Structure 1
Amino acid sequence: MTITVLERPIIDHIIASEKYRFETFSSLLNFPLITRHQLALSGFIYRETKCLCPQCGITIDLTSLDDNAIYASNYFRKLHREKVSYLGKRCAFLLCESATNIDDLHPSLISQQGEKLQWDDAEQPDFSDYNVRLQTFHSWPYLQQGENTFVTPPLLAKQGFYFSGPDDGVTCFYCGNILTNWSEAIHDTNKNIVQLEHARFFPCRFITYIAGGKFVANAGYLHVVSDQERRLRNPMTSKAVKNSNKPQSIDECLSTFENWPSYAPVLPKDLAQTGFYYLGEELKVRCYMCDLEVDEWHHGMTAFGTHKRRRGNCEIIQAILSTKTGDFQCVNEKWRLQTLDGLSFESDCDQRLCRELAACGFYRFKNTNNIRCAYCAVLIQPKIDSSIMSQHRNLAKQLKKSSTVDCIMVRARCPRNIVVPDRERFPEYPEYQSIFDRIKTFKIYQERYKVLDNFIRERAEAGFFLDTMKRMRCFQCGNSLPINNKNLLRKYSQYDIQKLHAHFYPTCEWVKEILGFKYIAQVLFDRTKLNEIEYQQSYYTHLSSTSSRPTRNSFLSVSITSSNSDHTLAIKSYLSDYSAESDDGGYGTVPALFKAQFIDHTSPIQSSTSPSSTTSYDSSLTTAQACTDVITNDSQDRWTLPILTNQTNPFKPLAAESKLRFIDIARTDISPVDPRAFFAYESNRLDSFKKTKS
């Protein structure tokens, strides 16, 4: 097997990246380079002394490996599948789901067009030859059917399949996944039906090479595989000892809940995902892995939480816990773009539209057709007649009944967003990109109030155009400021218009361009420090007004009060978010990190033409939220926060915390602004030097 290790430019913290996974093994010098390379290609990372898959949570005991052995190219991938099968789970990496793998350790498929690839890293390399695959179909059940069909052995073999069973099941030699129940596809009139089925169920590297990236991306987006279809056509296999009275997989567990009482406070899907199957008596369930039995369920109990508290060493629970940072990468624009790459929106500029969606915080959520924001979870059906950020703003308004926009990406207050370096800007109002066009909008204002040309030019250079007679709006981030509010200018007399722009909307790309990254980083740092000071003051004020032995509730009230405070509150009295002059105002506080869950991977806010089905939710879940991933994995009670509160690298704790700690209570971040997490990425540290003056 030939190993291609690319030169080391910037390594982003994207778990899906093969290059990054390979980097996590850099300290294990006792293992040969080829072994570390194979582990990375098989979906594993090295984190906190463990070798694990961040998608499914299974681990490999590195002490069981021979330091000097050279393993077969497919050894670790097959071991991965064997361990997943033992747990009775599915692994998104092995299923090749959208954006679970970025193959940046392989040579580009485009550069190899016309060449005969070796596919050395295939799960079943013995079937990499077309003729070998074709010979396996001599006993295929549909071989003798005399009807015209586009599901034939030659076509199946061409798309990477060989006949493996069970029944009519075929397996892709490259990704190792099985597809069964071809009875309906046999009668399909689509001549590319085999290619389509492979692409939408298992969009692996081989089918991407055969069909093309655009075909594969749209196959999964336009023909989403439902959970029921997945269970029917891609059955789980288990290597565990079979017991007729005991399920061996999550799918089998779910099938036992047909008669689950309707009054039960826990959903069958949640129970099955954590290993429980129904025993048929009242609310009695048992884990198929550790045999834990639970027969009483009350409102407020969760399947995962109950299982973890009572039997935390269960292999299923340990696997779930190992995936707790799996959604960290959604704050990275490069990863978001990977999930959208190749999608078709019936326009002439699909690629640019995908880049704009990623830049505005959107990504394709798992193996669905939901395109949603990583920070506020709204779903969007993009249109080409307006900017994506403008559509995002309209959707974000629906997060609250008020007119305040409550997505910090829309508010340009999201420093944890990791942008793609040196990409084009995507302004919310592209028609005002020219400073001359922005100056023209102030003509009426200048005639009425007799202001000097320099007054107008300063605001235009800061990115603003006249929106109303009292407000100006930035063409890039779309947020507004009063055009000439004396109280505001007096309070921030040390700022010119550009710096005032940066103070309220620090992650606006235009402000970053004109003031430089170094200045913006200082603004973010100052905001964080001020928030911490206010938190300390709030805490001591609260203590002075309560007893000398504060209760748990008093701590909670401090946390809630202070986390919703921001130093911009001082100007709220005369800069109203709810005035008729503005649709957003932009002066609301940045909300604190939160924990909530929505069901079935949908958002409470969607575009009116979204292909996703709408679902009814509790109104308490639709309040404005901060920079975090609001969907919990598998509808369990564990939070998949892409923003790690106490970590910069998702796999290593921060080296040193500040010693100026006056409060010793468990709490979330006071503010989502944290430059330490921002500068954890090499790309951001490198960018900070670009604007410095010698």
Structure 2
Amino acid sequence: MTTAILETSAIDHIIASEKYRLETFSSLLNFPLITRRQLALAGFIYREPLCLCPQCGVSIDLKSLNDNHTYPSNYFRLSHRKKLSHLGKRCAFLLCESGTNIDDLHPPFSYQVEETVEWDDAEQPEFRDYAKRVETFNAWPYLQREEKTFVTPSSMAIHGFYFSGFNDGVTCFYCGNTLVGWSEAICDTNEHIVRLEHARFFPCRFITFKAGAKFIADAGYFHIVSDEERRSRNPMTSETITSSNKPQTIDECLSTFDKWPSDAPISAKDLAQTGFYYLGEELRVKCYMCDLEVDDWHHGMTAYGTHKRRKADCEIIQAIASSITGDFQCVNEKWRLQTLDGLSLNTDNDQYLWRELAACGFYRFRNTNNIRCAYCPVTIEPKTDSSVMSQHRALAKRLKRSSHIDCVIVRAQCPTNVPIPDREAFPEYPEYKSVFERIKTFEPYKARHTVKDNFIRERAEAGFLLDTPKLMRCFQCGNSLPIMEKKMEKNYPQYNIEKLHAHFYPTCEWVKEILGAKYVRQVFLDRSKLNETEYQRVYAAQLSAASNGTSLGSFSSVTTTSNNSENTPPIDFNISDYSGESDNEGYETVATPFRAHYMDRIPSVPSIPISPLTTSPEPSQTIAAQSCVDLIPNDIHGQFTSPILENRTNPFKPPSPESQSSTVYMTSPDASPVDPRVSLAYESNRLDSFRRYNRESFAGISIEELAYAGFYLNAEGNTIKCPWCTVELTEHRVENI
């Protein structure tokens, strides 16, 4: 078994796409197409000379494969799991975690009926038949229970499970994952309990087909699986050849730390994640894979960094290093935290600062000392005299306003962020965590205005403190709302202050605390519906302008204010206080983000040179069509759309003749829960799109300057585009600007 560290400049960020992973094998023509397809479906990519899983780091030796042999459909997926079992760790891809796979090598479910759906990449294909799965439950321990339950052999089999043991363990025939500990679920009154348990632990393609994408999304959002629950109900397995008394998996390592000193300078969880188990004496730990012993832990040391420095060839370390080489998982807070592990920040508690940086959107860029925001161009050198989010906000304000930067994670409007469950909160103003401290800040306002005590308390309980005579600010997310009661009541009569907080700043952690995750999700649902209406209106306006010969520059005057009914007042979902107080009660509106599809989606606009006089809107106008927004768009069916892949080609190169003539069905990934466009949020990846064509300049402008300005080079190599708006420029048009 081998693991490897990827040495290329960056891992491609669209590796979640099955189609893209298949294309990475296009140079290996000595292998039949079916073998390359099986490798892609099993989660592997090819980066010469390595074939590896970018999620867990395990690799397959291609030299050991027979060019002329046809392997079973589940061969490489079983190999993947077996190699992972040797390491005693988990793989996000095999667990079917959100964001790890785009199912675009199969026809969309909407085009098929159940009888025609193929499960050709199932891990246990012998159990594809429902009747055969039901038969396995003849020895199930709960079979003879007399009380009514929704956890029945029939229900288990319908949702893909067969009885595999040990004890009450069942395994999904498609994804191959095992779930144990059904005693509580047996007594559950939820008739969909089996479907729910499958969906939240392993949201694989089969359960997605059975339950629907909305059910899967709800299960993952409202029923998060904790680390403890994962360990107890989805235990790791180890297939080491030699028997030993030492732990064989990460979970077994963690169980040895029951008596780990509470004042130790490093956490037991961090040690276990890198393969260490506790020897029971002082601070002595040992790696179960390479037998490295460490007992000299002190503040500032990290488990991964220490292990890597002292035993870099350990298979555990190599696997971890392989999975954190690129920044394709930047929206995942857990991944951002992994990239920061081992970085010395010269503080008394680097680990706490790493967690705060990751929670505020920052990650470490390619093992350098460069700490970047995943959602805006800000880089940071964190200080300990103020919260990371307040530093983030201050740095964002320094960016040129003309760049339309308004970091979505700073203004708590970032639905794409995947936070670590049950972690500590990192308020922007920690000194005001107490509601009584927040109430005190309103005393000057109360002295100047006649208000009821309840007026002040409602705002304090909603998380706000008085910041300026006109503004109040949330202690958690740091964003502001005007305090004037009459204006707020007039514009938003149906909302109390807590709900206003939620509708303006939905991902604020205090909002989630007081209103619950379900209400927050409804906010985003309302936003998506509004965005659909606005997109259709702007779309029609652009087509009308195009037919009348209007220049592209004039599109910037098209507003995105919704057509509101008489009973529903407008809600501006984007409030920013980046520029300080304004005449509009201390905040200014920015463009409402409509659905950001590429120009390929609509008829092309006549190629008219853009005049500088037409590209600058009036101050009173809202910028819309030319404003970039960091938003995952939805199609008309409420599904996520992947703009980069929707032309069904690799965005960086034309498809090979073989792939064009292949009979393998490759379809649009519109049903994917992942937006591969996130890759182009990074300047380095935009720069790579030029370098793939050996370009050093475009229309006389250096590629570094273009990449910094947000442009990447399209697949044909003749047009630069912005990933989030409709701007497309040829060299001729750039020269004319």
2:591 alignment counterpart: 476
Pairwise CA distance, 1:17 = 1.2
Q: Does residue 229 in structure 1 map to residue 343 in structure 2?
A: no
1:208 alignment counterpart: 208
Amino acid aligned to 2:707: D
Q: Residues of 2 paired with 1:78 and 1:651: CA distance?
A: 35
Q: Give ranges in structure 2 of 5+ residues lacking alignment.
A: 1-11, 333-407, 426-475, 480-494, 511-531, 540-555, 563-578, 594-610, 629-677, 698-703
Aligned-pair identity in percent equals 55
Amino acid aligned to 2:112: Q
**Alignment deviations for residues 420-461 of structure 1 (CA, whole Å, 9 cap, x no partner):** 9x977999xxxx9866999xxxxxxxxxxxxxxxxxxxxxxx
Q: Residues of 2 paired with 1:24 and 1:66: CA distance?
A: 19
Q: Structure 1 residues 88 and 378 mapped into 2: Cα distance closer, same or farther (>3 Å)?
A: farther
**Alignment deviations for residues 450-509 of structure 1 (CA, whole Å, 9 cap, x no partner):** xxxxxxxxxxxxxx9x9628999564179xxxxxxxxxxxxxxx976945999xxxx975
Q: Residues of 2 paired with 1:225 and 1:21: CA distance?
A: 28
Pairwise CA distance, 1:19 = 1.4
3-state SS of 2:416 partner: strand
Q: Residues of 2 paired with 1:379 and 1:425: CA distance?
A: 33
Amino acid aligned to 2:415: F
3-state SS of 1:51 partner: strand
Pairwise CA distance, 1:77 = 0.6
Contact preservation (8 Å) 1:47, 1:652? no
3-state SS of 2:116 partner: coil
1:72 alignment counterpart: 72
Amino acid aligned to 2:232: L
Q: 1:175-214 residue pairs with structure 2 within 5 A?
A: 175-214=175-214
The CA RMSD measured in Å over matched residues stands at 4.8
**Alignment deviations for residues 543-595 of structure 1 (CA, whole Å, 9 cap, x no partner):** xxxxxxxxxxxxxxxxxxxxxxxxxxxxxxxxxxxxxxxxxxxxxxxxxxxxx
Name whichever of 74-83 and 105-114 sits farther off. Answer: 105-114
Q: Residues of 1 paired with 2:190 and 2:585: CA distance?
A: 59
Contact preservation (8 Å) 1:38, 1:76? yes
Q: Structure 1 residues 50 and 435 mapped into 2: Cα distance closer, same or farther (>3 Å)?
A: closer
Q: Does residue 391 in structure 1 map to residue 444 in structure 2?
A: no
**Alignment deviations for residues 650-688 of structure 1 (CA, whole Å, 9 cap, x no partner):** 8998787979xxxxxxxxxxx998349841564984666
1:457 alignment counterpart: none
1:288 alignment counterpart: 288
Number of residue-to-residue matches in the alignment = 446
2:418 alignment counterpart: 365
**Alignment deviations for residues 39-91 of structure 1 (CA, whole Å, 9 cap, x no partner):** 11111111242111111111111111112221111111111111111100111
Q: Residues of 1 paired with 2:204 and 2:229: CA distance?
A: 19
Q: 1:515-664 residue pairs with structure 2 within 5 A?
A: 648=686
Q: Does residue 679 in structure 1 map to residue 712 in structure 2?
A: yes
Q: Structure 1 residues 501 and 312 mapped into 2: Cα distance closer, same or farther (>3 Å)?
A: farther
Amino acid aligned to 2:34: I
Q: Residues of 1 paired with 2:420 and 2:146: CA distance?
A: 36
1:23 alignment counterpart: 23
Contact preservation (8 Å) 2:250, 2:272? yes
Pairwise CA distance, 1:189 = 1.1
Q: Which has the higher contact order (CA 8 A, sep 6+)?
A: 1
1:511 alignment counterpart: 626
Q: Structure 1 residues 384 and 299 mapped into 2: Cα distance closer, same or farther (>3 Å)?
A: closer
Q: Structure 1 residues 672 and 282 mapped into 2: Cα distance closer, same or farther (>3 Å)?
A: farther
Pairwise CA distance, 1:113 = 3.0
**Alignment deviations for residues 629-651 of structure 1 (CA, whole Å, 9 cap, x no partner):** xxxxxxxxxxx999767555889
Name whichever of 466-475 and 58-67 sits farther off. Answer: 466-475
Q: Residues of 1 paired with 2:111 and 2:694: CA distance?
A: 45
Q: Residues of 1 paired with 2:226 and 2:728: CA distance?
A: 47
3-state SS of 1:286 partner: strand
Pairwise CA distance, 1:115 = 3.5
Q: Residues of 2 paired with 1:183 and 1:88: CA distance?
A: 26
Q: Residues of 2 paired with 1:138 and 1:437: CA distance?
A: 61
Q: Residues of 2 paired with 1:152 and 1:271: CA distance?
A: 40
Q: Residues of 1 paired with 2:584 and 2:199: CA distance?
A: 54
Q: Residues of 2 paired with 1:679 and 1:121: CA distance?
A: 35
2:217 alignment counterpart: 217
Q: Structure 1 residues 254 and 60 mapped into 2: Cα distance closer, same or farther (>3 Å)?
A: same
Amino acid aligned to 2:151: V
3-state SS of 1:162 partner: strand
Pairwise CA distance, 1:150 = 1.0
Q: Residues of 1 paired with 2:478 and 2:105: CA distance?
A: 32
Amino acid aligned to 1:62: L
**Alignment deviations for residues 98-151 of structure 1 (CA, whole Å, 9 cap, x no partner):** 121110111101211354323121000000000101111111111122221111
Q: Structure 1 residues 303 and 360 mapped into 2: Cα distance closer, same or farther (>3 Å)?
A: same
3-state SS of 2:148 partner: coil
Q: Residues of 2 paired with 1:242 and 1:378: CA distance?
A: 52
Q: Residues of 2 paired with 1:82 and 1:142: CA distance?
A: 30
Tell me the TM-score normalized by structure 2.
0.53
3-state SS of 2:183 partner: coil
Amino acid aligned to 2:300: G
Pairwise CA distance, 1:275 = 0.5
3-state SS of 1:277 partner: strand
Q: Give ranges in structure 1 of 5+ residues lacking alignment.
A: 1-11, 333-355, 397-419, 439-463, 479-493, 514-639, 660-670
2:168 alignment counterpart: 168
Q: Does residue 41 in structure 1 map to residue 41 in structure 2?
A: yes
Contact preservation (8 Å) 2:136, 2:163? yes
Q: Residues of 2 paired with 1:181 and 1:13: CA distance?
A: 36
**Alignment deviations for residues 1-33 of structure 1 (CA, whole Å, 9 cap, x no partner):** xxxxxxxxxxx9422111121122222222211
Q: Structure 1 residues 243 and 385 mapped into 2: Cα distance closer, same or farther (>3 Å)?
A: same
Q: Structure 1 residues 214 and 159 mapped into 2: Cα distance closer, same or farther (>3 Å)?
A: same
Q: Structure 1 residues 140 and 393 mapped into 2: Cα distance closer, same or farther (>3 Å)?
A: closer
3-state SS of 1:34 partner: helix
Amino acid aligned to 1:122: A
Contact preservation (8 Å) 1:13, 1:20? no
3-state SS of 2:137 partner: helix
Q: Residues of 2 paired with 1:90 and 1:436: CA distance?
A: 45
Amino acid aligned to 1:303: A
Amino acid aligned to 1:45: I
Q: Structure 1 residues 240 and 201 mapped into 2: Cα distance closer, same or farther (>3 Å)?
A: same
1:551 alignment counterpart: none
